[in-house]
């Protein structure tokens, strides 16, 4: 009999602000925001501490708006070196007590504790983690506990700061479904209005939505199915902990010489990055089941988003379109991007993973694309990775 997994989502509370408070005791009892302290107070807030939040101050708010809400708020210049250092130390501590950990971003991680916890000892283990991180690093962490990654992620947001929340599948209708669809992990600013347009306003509305064709038409076939399953508590993605016997992921990134605020140019860079990881996969005889995107903004914010594919693939077009959707869904209205990276994970060998085609696939087109990819990869093998590409090459990114 298959037993349910026990997954933790560990989320460091108000991380940048918390690091500043840990480094500077004088900030413990005052409202602070981490942001560029520019003359005109037009910078974006990266992280307010919880005292600042009590005044209504939020992440991404302008510092000028924060000052109106709380005139004595202190603006602290961001120091990415400090935050990275704390992040590395915390996740090193976590990996020492359980190797099955997947770092999702600078301030959050997933942990599979199925093999080491059962019943009430699960809560005791979570409390131990919380208390030790507070005692050692002076940082608060919230923990969501659930049978899969999606539910654990949603649970960790339900009781902040320093909360522990258990979310069971039998509790979906009371704990998960009343939440606004805009708060659902995987629903970004582009997807949210598309769902709202078909009267999906809560996660429960999505879980019980009957017209799957309409849902697919609005948000895309693959994304529709993924969101629908997650709303119903289904998420088969694994915690991708380190495995030295197999390649964990293949990735590439590009740091721009100047900050980029042009979506078209970002998509151009995205094509190059996709070309590069697909080439690396072909060299290793691999296909990917999950693709992801990392964006570093000029104000030090870093986001990392990933989505599972319907089946393993090394098709550049499929991978690009999925990453393009992630990009569109996560770019704010005003942005300056400093770095963009892509990655492919949950890799499988090509010879045990055949491409699947639906009834309406154009087989001649698929075969011709396959031949083009083989030719391009052959030229790259003989002349170098940057010698040729489909649609874009690295020199096109020079600006």
Render pLDDT for 329-347 as a digit per residue (tens, 0 to 9): 888 877 889 999 999 988 8
Q: What is the mean pLDDT of the chain?
A: 86
User: Quick count: other Cβ atoms within 10 Å of Cβ 34?
Assistant: 26
Bridge-based pairing state of the strands 7-12 and 141-146: antiparallel
Summarize pLDDT for 126-184 with one digit per residue, the tens.
999 999 999 999 999 999 999 999 999 999 999 999 999 999 999 999 999 999 999 99
pLDDT greater at residue 260 or residue 378? 260
pLDDT greater at residue 87 or residue 42? 87
Q: Are 321 and 302 in contact (CB under 8 A)?
A: no
Give the CATH number of domain 249-397.
Answer: 3.30.1490.100
Domains of the chain, by residue range, sit at: 1-167, 185-231, 249-397
pLDDT of residue 398: 53
Q: Are 275 and 390 in contact (CB under 8 A)?
A: yes
pLDDT above 50: residue 355:
no
pLDDT of residue 305: 85
pLDDT of residue 4: 82
- Average pLDDT score over residue span 300-323: 87
pLDDT above 90: residue 394:
no
Q: Is residue 398 flagged as an active site residue?
A: no
Beta strands in the chain (DSSP E): 7-12, 32-34, 47-48, 74-76, 101-105, 108-112, 141-146, 164-166, 249-260, 286-297, 302-313, 337-345, 348-349
DSSP 171: G
What is the CA 331 to chain-centroid distance, rounded?
13
The length of the chain in residues reads: 399
Beta strands in 192-301 (DSSP E): 249-260, 286-297
pLDDT above 70: residue 314:
yes
pLDDT above 80: residue 353:
no
- Is residue 138 helix, strand or coil? coil
pLDDT of residue 374: 55
With respect to CATH, is domain 1-167 assigned 2.60.40.10?
A: no
pLDDT of residue 289: 85
Summarize pLDDT for 70-79 with one digit per residue, the tens.
999 999 999 9
pLDDT of residue 382: 54
Selecting among 20, 102, 108, 240, the annotated active-site residue is 108
**Per-residue pLDDT band at 117 (split at 50, 70, 90):** confident
Summarize pLDDT for 212-239 with one digit per residue, the tens.
999 999 998 888 999 999 999 999 888 8
pLDDT greater at residue 320 or residue 1? 320
> With pLDDT > 90 as the criterion, what percentage of the chain qualifies?
63
Listed residue (258, 279, 262, 260) closest to 342, CA to CA: 279
Rounded Cα gap, residues 395 and 399, in angstroms: 9
pLDDT of residue 246: 44
Summarize pLDDT for 234-265 with one digit per residue, the tens.
998 888 875 433 446 788 999 998 899 999 99
pLDDT greater at residue 317 or residue 376? 317
């Amino acid at each position: 009999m298959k037993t349910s997994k026990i997954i933790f989502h560990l989320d460091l509370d108000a991380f940048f602000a918390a690091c500043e408070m840990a480094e500077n005791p004088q900030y413990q009892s005052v409202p602070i925001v981490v942001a560029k302290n520019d003359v005109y107070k037009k910078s974006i807030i990266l992280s307010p501490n919880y005292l600042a939040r009590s005044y209504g101050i939020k992440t991404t708010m302008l510092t000028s708006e924060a000052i109106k809400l709380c005139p004595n708020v202190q603006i602290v210049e961001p120091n990415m070196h400090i935050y990275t250092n704390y992040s590395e130390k915390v996740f090193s501590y976590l990996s020492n007590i359980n190797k099955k950990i997947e770092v999702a971003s600078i301030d959050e991680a997933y942990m599979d504790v199925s093999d080491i916890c059962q019943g009430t000892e699960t809560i005791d283990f979570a409390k131990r983690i919380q208390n030790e991180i507070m005692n050692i690093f002076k940082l608060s962490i919230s923990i969501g506990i659930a049978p899969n990654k999606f539910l654990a992620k949603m649970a960790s947001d339900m009781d902040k700061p320093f909360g522990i929340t258990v979310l069971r599948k039998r509790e979906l209708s009371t704990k998960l479904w009343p939440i606004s669809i805009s708060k659902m992990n995987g629903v970004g600013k582009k997807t949210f209005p598309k769902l709202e347009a078909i009267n999906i306003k809560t996660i429960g509305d999505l879980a019980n939505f009957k017209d799957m064709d309409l849902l697919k038409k609005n948000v895309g076939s693959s994304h529709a199915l993924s969101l629908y399953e997650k709303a119903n508590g289904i998420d088969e993605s694994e915690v991708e902990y380190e495995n030295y016997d197999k390649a964990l992921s293949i990735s590439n990134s590009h740091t721009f010489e100047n900050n980029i605020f042009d979506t078209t140019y970002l998509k151009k860079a995205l094509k190059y990055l996709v070309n590069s990881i697909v080439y690396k996969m072909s060299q290793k005889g691999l296909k990917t089941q999950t693709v992801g995107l990392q964006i570093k903004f000029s104000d030090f914010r870093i986001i990392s988003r990933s989505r599972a594919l319907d089946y393993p693939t090394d098709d550049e077009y499929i991978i690009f379109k999925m990453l393009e959707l992630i990009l569109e869904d996560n770019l704010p209205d005003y942005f300056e991007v400093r770095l963009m990276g892509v990655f492919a994970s949950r890799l499988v060998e090509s010879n045990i993973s055949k491409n699947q085609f639906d009834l309406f696939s154009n087989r001649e087109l698929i075969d011709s694309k396959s031949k083009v990819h083989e030719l391009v990869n052959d030229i790259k093998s003989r002349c170098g990775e940057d010698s040729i590409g489909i649609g874009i090459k690295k020199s096109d990114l020079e600006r």
